[in-house]
Amino acid sequence: MFDLIGFSSGEDSGKDEQSGENAPNEASSAESCGLFDISPAYDRPVSPDYQSNLDYCRRLKGKNADLLIREFNLADGRRSFLLLVDGLCSKQSAEQNLILPAMRLQLSGHPDSMPPLKQISSVILNTELSEQPSLSKGYIAALTGDLFLCVEGLNVGFVVGARSIESRSVSPSETAGSVAGPHEGFTENLRTNTALIRRRISDPNFTIEMMQVGLRSHTAVALCYINGVTNPALTDALRSNIQAVTVDLLGDAGELAQLIEQYPISPLPQIDSTEKPDTAAAEICQGRAAIIVNGSPCVLLAPATLSSMMQVTEDRYQRWTYSSFLKILRWVAFFLSITAPSLYVAVVAYNPGLLPVDLLLLSAANRINVPFSAVTEVVILEFFIELLREASIRLPGSISSAMSIVGGLIVGDAAIRAGLVSPLLIIIIGLTSLTSFVIPSYELASSLRLVKYFLLALSAVFGIFGLTVGLVLFVSQLCALYSYGTEFTAPFSPAYRKGFIESLIELPIFRRDTRPEYYEPIDLIRMK
């Protein structure tokens, strides 16, 4: 029943160019070549001239084999055509639920009759049926998976929701593991992700705003927040920044996060992310906003702070005593992940007098046959660890686990036996790698790896003094960052008494009665 219609033959094209009835006078030279004007200001309205609309879609279709144009007549003889993309929507559903009912429709042109949308909705039973006066936007809607219907004599088209894109089912997140709480993770389908959050937040004030980003990809982006809780200044800033993005293709939420950050040059992230629906729902209720990008299993959260990136939703599900212990453990791991190698180099190479005598003698005995300096040792081992980490990510799961065992145990033991590295350094590098995995945010952990090398370079040149200067510069950079009006170091600087305590330990559940003040929520009380 579906006809694949491409460019007209040369004879028909000549007829279109000579006939003012068939060829639209307003068509630009780009349109005549089958090019679509992607500028945001461009808008070609739907014309009552049926042939003009059809010729426009035919020219744009060109040689696209997956783009289908189906012509049919209504019961009153009006010519109509349907535009859809094979694979993004079901052809059988379009035939049974749209074409066959529409062929029995007689549109009434009487002034007192119902509007065309109501007349069409009386036979086309679809919850997503809307008018579209723009022919260019209707064409884009078809490219995103909807159906676009044009009827002769009407100056509006109709967009019918019929997406049937295959996607993986809801499954546990592979990057955000947890013991307590829900295990399901986001998928690459935007509507599935919004449903996972909506299932947890049934508040009528919960709002999901839809936008499109990408001049060529037209990627769907959803901005989620709660009216009456989230600060309107935050949602306005996010909305304007997202709409201002003019990239050709938006492939993942990570790209959007870099495009809407306030300090894109900074090595530290200013937008948080999560792959768990329960985390996204909890943070939205705290006064933050979530951004969902179609095709990405990561949901962005703004504003972001250092303390929010060091927390996990799992802390709320466990006893506050054990959660407090885990929070303190993560902060210790945060400090060790960036300072342990630098501290080793600074003490061994420049300031050995800081070590106790027994430890100093042990360190000297371990390094007596090592042919490299302390700095060279650290650089070699860190380079090896980075190679091992990257290889384990790229290789298949069954091979990567074996590679980690071979690289971490066999090669490390062989290096110690050969006298190439110190056993104490192996322990320090292993501890550094473990502590980096304790940090919940992958983006933050990746940035801290670069900070670690910056501190290592200063320690290799200036010793303890260089490490101290590097830490001061790092803290200064943290204090200089803002994330949509919120200080990145809040609640430590500026200090919020309750937020400061909650960032270090987990309060009992009956004491978690307010939302974080530094998010500036409209409603500060979350439990009475």
Cβ–Cβ under 8 Å, residues 81 and 54: yes
Number of Cα atoms under 13 Å in the Cβ half of residue 377: 29
Distance CA 308, CA 301 (A): 10
Q: Which residues contact 311 (CB under 8 A, 6 or more apart)?
A: 327, 440, 503
Cβ–Cβ under 8 Å, residues 290 and 197: yes
Neighbours of 521 (CB within 10 A): 22
Q: Which residues contact 344 (CB under 8 A, 6 or more apart)?
A: 374, 378, 424, 425, 428
Q: Where are the domains of the chain?
A: 10-160, 190-304, 318-487
How far, CA to CA in Å, does 515 sit from each of 282, 454, 512?
11, 36, 8
Tell me which amino acid residue 37 is.
Answer: D
Q: Which residues contact 10 (CB under 8 A, 6 or more apart)?
A: none
Q: Which residues contact 384 (CB under 8 A, 6 or more apart)?
A: 407, 411
> And the tokens for 98?
């749209």
**Residue written as tokens 């929520």?**
521
Distance CA 443, CA 254 (A): 10
Measure CA 134 to chain center. 30
What is the longest distance spanned by two Cα atoms in the chain?
A: 101
Cβ–Cβ under 8 Å, residues 512 and 506: no
pLDDT given at position 406? 65
* Spatial strand order in the sheet of 147-151: 67-73, 79-85, 147-151, 157-160, 129-132
pLDDT given at position 411? 74
pLDDT given at position 110? 60
The tens digit of pLDDT for each residue in 231-285 reads 999 999 999 999 999 999 998 999 999 999 999 899 899 999 999 999 999 999 9
> And the tokens for 86?
């094979």
The tens digit of pLDDT for each residue in 398-439 reads 666 666 666 666 777 777 777 788 888 888 988 998 899 899
> And the tokens for 237?
């800033």
The tens digit of pLDDT for each residue in 122-141 reads 888 777 888 999 999 999 99
Tell me which amino acid residue 359 is.
Answer: L
All residue ranges of the chain with pLDDT < 70 are 1-34, 109-113, 165-167, 175, 177, 397-409
The number of residues in the chain equals 528
Distance CA 394, CA 403 (A): 11
Q: Which residues contact 213 (CB under 8 A, 6 or more apart)?
A: 219, 221, 242, 243, 245, 247, 250, 256, 293
**Which residue, 213, 280, 278, 277, is CA-closest to 248?**
213
- b/e 471-497 (16+ beta carbons within 10 angstroms → b): beebeeebeebebbebbbbbbbeeebe
Q: Which residues contact 27 (CB under 8 A, 6 or more apart)?
A: 56
Q: What is the CA radius of gyration of the chain?
A: 30
What angle is formed at CA 12 by the lines to CA 27 and CA 156, rounded to 5 degrees? Answer: 45
